[in-house]
Amino acid sequence: MVVKDLPLAGLKLIQLDVHNDKRGYFTETYNKDRYDFLPEFKQDNVSFSMIGVLRGLHYQETQPQGKLVSVISGCVFDAVLNIDPKHPEFGKWFGIKLVPGMQFYVPPFYAHGFKVLETETLFQYKCTEMFKEGDGRTIAWDTAGIIWPDIDIDNAPKKPFLSEQDKKGESFVEFASRKLI
């Protein structure tokens, strides 16, 4: 396993040891002793999405979550936005293409989202805090300056496919003005 610090504070890329053979592959995705540089995780989630789905940018208002995210199959463009108004990197974003064998650690105080780039993608994330009903919020995916990649596959949707919740996300300007008052 190789761990690399990324350009924004606290972000880490983890390249897993993947053992391939003619049957497929095997990799260890978490071992408490080897991941002692990260906080404790309290909840695991999996999402299955079709090509063109965009989820996010999600965060919890009062109970911020750190996330260790990975792709089990398929490919995503994963993006985060620093939403800590006291941090010098407030409003800055980072994005990375994730495929199996990679993990991306996102600390609390980042809004998180991803766009599915391959058909039938399975995405997993471990969270440092439990999901708190009524605490989840969304910043509109297209209001924070994130450059989302186009999908170069025939019949892929040109516009992202969003949930009703994500369609109603507040703009980053609205979020920032609420946080900076």
User: Catalytic positions, please?
Assistant: 58, 125
Which residues are CB-contacts of 22 (< 8 A; sequence separation ≥ 6)?
none
State the greatest distance between any 2 C-alpha atoms of the chain, in Å, as a whole number: 58
Q: Residues 129, 27, 72, 150: is their CA dihedral positive or negative?
A: positive
- Tokens representing 107? 């600390």
Beta strands 136-138 and 54-60, pairing class: antiparallel
Structure-token pair, residue 63: 């109970």
Residue type, 143: T
**Helix H or strand E encompassing 13:** strand 12-15
Cα(143)–Cα(172) distance, integer angstroms: 6
> Contact, 25 vs 18, CB < 8 A?
yes
Contacts of 49 (CB under 8 A, 6+ apart): 55, 116, 120, 121, 123
